[in-house]
Chain A
Amino acid sequence: MKRYVVLVSAVLLFLSLLVCPGSVSAAPYYEGKIITIVVGYGPGGGYDRIARIVAKHLPKHIPGKPTILVQNMPGADSMIAANYLYNIAKPDGFTIGAFNRGLVFAQLLKADGVKFDLTKYAWIGSAAIESSVLVLRTDLPYKTIDDVAKTKSTIMLGCTGPADSSGQFPLFQKELLGYNFKFVTYPSSADIMLAVERKEVDGRGATYSSVKPLIDRGVVRPLIRGRVVEPGIENLPIDEDLAKDKKAKTLMAMRSAPDRIGRPYVAPPRTPAAAMKILTEAFAKAAKDPALQEDAAKNKMAVEYVPAGEVQKVLQYILNQPPDMVKEFAKYIKF
């Protein structure tokens, strides 16, 4: 009888060791080392998929070819991961992380649970640009954003909640441009897509990359975009250009600013400059790697490196807004 116990325990123990990533030890060089990418979301989503592509291709560009592991740390819209990276992870260059681009709003609005200052991370940069678009069903009579502006009937839009800034992109048009929108909150992005298919809602605000499959299939059509642009939607009108006063323009610009840092990558504050130099250079090179680009294209994602300096500019722009602007902004985006 004991044989069974020993055998089964051994097998199970072995398997469980395989699946629980261990901790990383500190050492001066990347040779034979492990870098962990802490992702603030569960497996399968956009943040996770990009991290796994990065993990696959980044080692080639780092001297010493370390192994890169992805560790999912989901929770609180990735704030748990951000807090972990800021307060707990060792600043030794062996832990880096990816979290929600919208966290800057959490910091701006002083949301519960923020235990980080985004400007103080050792920034690697961003792995992608994510433009926000409004898409409406092609079977509806709205061919341009003018048709939307003129219509008397209410347009139903799906979103996933007040913390989803791309989903709330049309909210700014409703409040500041007077468009006739109504919002319905669904549990997930996939549920909105299905609601669009069965004509329960008329469209949604989303990142361009996430709705591209539906645009390609002719189910929906993009009508308006935010300031930040990706190839394919250059000719769409921009929300800021339609705004009449400066306040509205600024609010829209604030909302779209983090789109520029679509997939942020950081290391803990005080990570040694030498390690950061290796990581940022490797990141820039990996983003141009044709093999990585091919993998990304297969995943229907675009990888484009945005350097740390630009990230800081975006953060400063948002975090240095005057208090009355912040107060106004807090009416639309919650965290």
Chain B
Amino acid sequence: MFDAFIEGLFMVLQWKALLYLCIGVLLGYAVGILPGLGGGTTLALMLPFIYKMTPGEAFAFLLGMHSVVQTAGDITSILFGIPGEATTVAMIVDGYPMSKKGEAGRALGAGLSASLIGVIIGAVVLLFSVPIVRPLVLSLGSPEMLMVILLGLTCISSLSGKGKRALLLGLLSAGFGFLCSMVGQDRQAGILRFTFGLLYLWNGLPLVPVMVGFFALPEIIDLAIRGTSIAGKIPDGTLTKGVWDGVKDTFNNFWMTVRCSLIGVVIGILPGIGGGVAQWLAYAHATQSAKTKEEAAGFGKGDVRGVIGPGASTGKEGGALIPTVAFGIPGSSAMAILMGAFFILGIIPGPDMLTKYLPLTFSMVWILVIANIITVASSFFMIGHMAKLTLVRGHIMIAFILLLCFIGSYCENNHIGDVVVMLLFGWIGYLMVVYDFPRAPFILAFILGKMAETYYYISTTRYGFDWIYRPKVIAIFGLVILAVLYPFIQNKLKFRKGANA
């Protein structure tokens, strides 16, 4: 096995493979930075180029490209408050306020270094899970998936923020998210829900325009009202100094970084849940690390841990490869396209990947790590320049960011309806900001709502109500209850400590 591991490294280090890897990274970088244009679509566009490549080269190219998209998307989220990718929205919550405070350098330093650690941890898990991956994925049936989704939904409470009526507002926001996730043709009976006679809505509200509008437009309005640059007025030279502070922040919170990476890995392994959720759960976990009430209130206003957590969720890249490689069953649309690449190269993903093609499997581990090292290292050279963008006068930036929002929303489906959805949700998002509704619970419920419904339905048609008694279901449900009660217990404890002091 060790031989295969080393052989995998050499597959990547051949000059042609390495060259393709660099081209892939460059493409992935551009795709990641541009909002709307997703990793999956680009993978599909690049498929025709791999016909003449060897498997080692093709994966260096495709996987290299795919694995850096989120890392690069984080940069857009931090600097402009627009999600560079659908998977990097959570980064905005604390990353953009840091930019507004003039700490863009520190935020980028922390986000990128956490991102790199996340990918490495994901790759290590992929590496060690090779022997046990089949039983691992097979042990999670639909009822267990439902429980994991429920566990994800409990994060609504920690994402609601702190304050007197925060939980109520958070739950209202989540309820609205559920409602929006129900739009479209229902999967079980084919009934059309909230489609108002529009074909456009049959497949539900599109994720990217909703997120772009929801998070970017309110910030643009805010920028217009303030009439300054994103970073406002800050003393010269402070902007870029913080880069190494950011890196240090990541290492100061090393175990939290590891835990957030592992959250990413788990979400990656579960087929169908998708990367968008990973970052939110990692963020929610990061907010729980607040030790005092003042600290807790600081989240959402530019706490560096709120950047490290989402950054580290890149562990999902390694995790997502696990079901794809082991079963030939993709966990996401990007992975489905990667599967197409397997076929083109004459490889049938599945048990063979763990025996006959073991070096190739290991080369993927290396590709993940090397591609992200290249990305993060080259970003560090540019952070100074990128951070300076936050000093550009607002009225120039607004035109530019708005353009990106429109292109980002339109590009995925080339449908004008996407632009309308973006504007509509921009308006809703702005109202929510004005009236202090937290926006994160909406997104979580919006992504997970339909999945919760689907898996509940599958569990019940398949097993009747017997699924409730499955031991793993009970175990995960125990975690769900713990997660629901934890903030209350924590609050009580803090309060008591405060009273004693």
Task: Give residues in A with beta carbon < 8 Å to B.
Answer: 1-2, 4-5, 8-9, 12-13, 15-16, 19-21, 42-45, 48-49, 52, 56, 71-77, 79-80, 83, 112-113, 156, 160-163, 182-188, 190-191, 193-195, 197-201, 213, 216-217, 295, 298-300, 334-335
Contact = CB atoms under 8 A, between A and B. Distances in A.
A19 B411 contact: yes
Given A1-B392, A52-B47, A19 B329 contact: no
A44 B333 contact: yes
Given A44-B336, A191-B271, 12 more contacts: A21-B414, A43-B41, A44-B43, A73-B415, A74-B203, A76-B202, A161-B190, A185-B454, A185-B461, A190-B271, A198-B139, A217-B350
A187 B272 contact: yes
B400 A5 contact: yes
Given A161-B190, A182-B461, A184-B461, A4 B388 contact: yes
Nearest to B204: A75
Given A72-B413, A156-B462, A198-B141, A16 B344 contact: no
A75 B202 contact: yes
A71 B411 CA distance: 11
Contacts of B271: 190-191, 194
Interface in B461-478: 461-462
Contacts of A13: 403
Contacts of B345: 298
Contacts, number: 169
B220 to A, nearest CB: 16
Interface stretch (B192-200, B208-216, B234-242): B192-200
Select the residue from A1, A112, A194 with max chain B CB neighbours within 10 A.
Answer: A194
Contact of B34 (A4, A12, A163, A200): A12
Interface in B117-142: 137-142
B54 to A, nearest CB: 14
B389 A200 contact: no
B348 interface: yes
Contacts of B351: 217
Nearest to A298: B344
Interface of B: 30, 33-34, 37, 40-41, 43-45, 47-48, 51, 137-142, 185, 187-190, 192, 197, 199-200, 202-203, 271-272, 323, 327-330, 333, 336-337, 340, 343-346, 348, 350-351, 385, 388-389, 391-393, 396-397, 400, 403-404, 407, 410-411, 413-415, 451, 454, 457-458, 461-462
B267 to A, nearest CB: 16
A185 B34 contact: no
A75 B190 CA distance: 14
A74 B329 contact: no
Given A8-B389, A79-B199, A186 B44 contact: no
Nearest to A75: B203
Contacts of A217: 348, 350-351
Contacts of B47: 52
Given A184-B462, A193-B329, A335-B190, A198 B415 contact: no
Given A19-B411, A44-B333, A113 B199 contact: yes
Contacts of B343: 213, 298-300
Nearest to A114: B199
Nearest to A163: B190
A44 B40 contact: yes
Given A44-B44, A217-B348, A185 B336 contact: no
Instruction: Give chain A's interface secondary structure class.
Output: mixed
Nearest to A20: B411
Nearest to A42: B333
B348 A216 contact: yes
Contacts of B30: 15
Nearest to B203: A75
Contact of B414 (A73, A187, A190): A73
Given A75-B415, A182-B461, A198-B137, A299 B344 contact: yes
29 contacts: A1-B388, A4-B389, A5-B389, A5-B396, A8-B389, A9-B403, A12-B33, A19-B411, A21-B414, A43-B333, A52-B48, A72-B413, A74-B203, A160-B187, A185-B457, A187-B187, A187-B454, A190-B272, A190-B336, A193-B328, A199-B138, A200-B141, A200-B142, A200-B462, A201-B462, A213-B348, A216-B348, A217-B350, A217-B351
Nearest to A49: B340
B278 to A, nearest CB: 18
A191 B272 contact: yes
A76 B199 contact: yes
B40 A43 contact: yes
B67 to A, nearest CB: 18
Contacts of A299: 340, 343-344
Nearest to A17: B407
Contacts of A8: 389, 400
Contacts of B200: 75-76, 80
A73 B392 contact: no
A83 B190 contact: no
Given A187-B272, A194-B327, A74 B413 contact: yes
Select the residue from B47, B197, B199, B328 with max chain A CB neighbours within 10 A.
Answer: B199
A187 B189 CA distance: 13
B452 to A, nearest CB: 12
A1 to B, nearest CB: 6
Nearest to A188: B272
A90 to B, nearest CB: 16
Contact of A1 (B40, B139, B141, B391): B391
A162 B396 contact: no
A190 B404 contact: no
Nearest to B462: A184
Nearest to B450: A187
B190 A162 contact: yes
A77 B204 CA distance: 12
